[in-house]
């Protein structure tokens, strides 16, 4: 055994060894933090890419769906204008055919995540889904409720494609003036005294 290997020399060298161990431990800790941070960033990037790809797939049909909404509107108009009390078998079969076509189109919309927005009478006006075309006074519906749907709206997987165009019950005459909840944009409606436009 040499003189350098004596226990006294080991004790003399121990402070520098401890310092080196501490430095290495600090470096290892720093590297672990960097690895964890890079792993988290990689995971976030992966999730964001997956989300964007899913959105692209989900909303790829939005333009196509928008074009088909006109077809649905025309089928609705044809169904509404169809004679309900006709005795002619050909007319009855024609009406049934139009109704079946309309139902099948709506079912296809539903299968692909395109939901119809057709609020029932009395439902509260929702500026996120409805567009107020006018106010109608003197109805049995509470002020701010939907009186009539002029054109159904649609949303694709929760994203609004087209708002439902509605007539809204006017505020009670003589009530204290309040901010118009329908103001701002295409959904703006007139004063409480506005009359129903029957020319539409």
Residues 125, 175: one domain? yes
Per-residue confidence (pLDDT) for residue 138, from 0 to 100: 72
Q: How many CA atoms lie within 13 A of 139 on its CB side?
A: 23
What pLDDT band is residue 194 in, cutting at 50, 70 and 90? very low
Among 86-90, 125-129, 159-163, 169-173, the minimum mean pLDDT is found in 169-173
Task: Give CA–CA dist 108/190, Å, rounded.
Answer: 37
Question: How much of the chain exceeds pLDDT 90, in percent?
Answer: 40
Whether residues 143 and 104 fall in one domain? no
Residues 16-40: pLDDT tens digits? Answer: 888 888 888 999 999 999 999 999 9
> Residue 15 is part of which domain span?
3-58
In this structure, are 34 and 97 located in the same domain?
A: no
Same domain, 101 and 172: no
- Both 103 and 120 in one domain: the answer is no
Q: Does residue 85 sit in the same domain as residue 98? A: yes
| pLDDT, tens digit (0-9, with 9 covering 90-100), for 44-72 | 999 999 988 887 877 778 888 888 999 99
Q: Note whether 54 and 67 are same-domain residues.
A: no
pTM (global) more than 0.75: no
Q: How many angstroms separate the Cα of 168 from the Cα of each of 129, 145, 184, 188, 191?
A: 13, 6, 16, 11, 11
Give the neighbor-by-neighbor strand order of the sheet with 130-136.
130-136, 164-169, 146-151
Pairing of strands 164-169, 130-136: parallel
Q: Do residues 198 and 122 both lie within one domain? A: yes
Split into its structural domains, the chain has a count of 3
């Amino acid at each position: 055994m040499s003189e350098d290997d004596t226990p006294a020399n080991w004790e003399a060298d121990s402070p520098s060894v401890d310092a080196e161990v501490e430095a290495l431990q600090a470096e290892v800790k720093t590297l672990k933090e960097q690895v964890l941070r890079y792993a988290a960033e990689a995971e976030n990037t992966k999730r964001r890419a997956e989300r964007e790809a899913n959105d692209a797939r989900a909303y790829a049909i939005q333009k196509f769906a928008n074009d088909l909404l006109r077809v649905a509107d025309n089928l609705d108009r044809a169904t509404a204008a169809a004679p309900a009390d006709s005795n002619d078998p050909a007319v009855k079969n024609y009406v049934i055919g139009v109704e079946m076509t309309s139902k099948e189109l709506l079912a296809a919309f539903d299968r692909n995540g395109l939901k119809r927005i057709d609020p029932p009478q009395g439902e509260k006006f929702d500026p996120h889904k409805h567009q107020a075309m006018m106010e109608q006074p003197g109805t049995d519906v509470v002020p701010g409720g939907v009186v009539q749907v002029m054109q159904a709206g649609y949303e694709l997987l929760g994203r609004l494609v087209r708002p439902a165009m509605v007539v809204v019950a006017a505020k009670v005459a003589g009530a204290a003036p309040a901010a118009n909840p329908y103001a701002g944009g295409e959904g703006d409606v007139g004063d409480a005294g506005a009359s129903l436009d029957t020319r539409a």
